[in-house]
Chains A and B, each alone.
Chain A
Amino acid sequence: MTVKVRFFARFRELLGTDILLEKKSGMVLATLVRELAEKKMDGYEAIFDEKGNFREFVIVMRNGKRLELSETMTVKVADGDEIAVFPPVAGG
């Protein structure tokens, strides 16, 4: 399956964005993002805590809809999904 991961703002600067991943189906969302972020430690540490969990301020969307961080540990990504990961918003 193909999944697109988009990072924004500071996370984009650290990890890039619009990253297309080829993965086995049934992968848990948090695991997918963790594996991707691990390639650049400063990016990983910005998003995940020392236990490997999303930091509490991180916002995760799947196909434009926000997920609870607890959901990211059980929700499985599907072919064509767009996952967005970003810090608190600051528009206006």
Chain B
Amino acid sequence: MIAIRHEDVDIGNLINEAKRPGTGAVVVFDGIVRDDDIREMELEAYEEVALKELEKIAEDAKKLHNLLHVDIVHRIGRLVVGENILIIIVSAGHRQDAYAGSRYIIEEIKKGVPIWKKELTKNGDRWVPGEHAHGKGKSC
């Protein structure tokens, strides 16, 4: 499943579905709203473009790291502390590929996928600054 959605997912079900023939390892990344003295987090996406970019990242990760299956679910909307933001589940024949593939996917998402976070605090709201100004390393 590659998705941008408001609803959470059942991670247990996704893990079971990721166990394709030949699987020797499943790696789960679960990014969570951290309690940085915030009330809630609001996530926004350029959905049409972000979804296509997630699909491409998943395909590239499969090829580069011999993955058997990839799920990426990025949530949007208002989330409270402790809720899941981003779930990445990968399966591979060996743990090295599964770990590397999972790491590749999260780093690529942070580089360029058009999604933004706003932290809602007692003292006002603040947009989380992006780590990569130009996305995909392009000077645009």
Contact = CB atoms under 8 A, between A and B. Distances in A.
Interface string A51-92: 000001101110010111101000000000000101111111
Which among A8, A9, A90, A91 has the greatest number of chain B C-beta atoms within 10 A? A91
Chain B: interface residue count, which band?
35 or more
Contact of B132 (A60, A68, A69, A89): A89
Contacts, number: 93
A6 to B, nearest CB: 7
B140 A69 contact: yes
Interface string A1-42: 000001011101000000000000000000000000000000
A87 B130 contact: yes
Given A60-B140, A68-B140, A91 B110 contact: yes
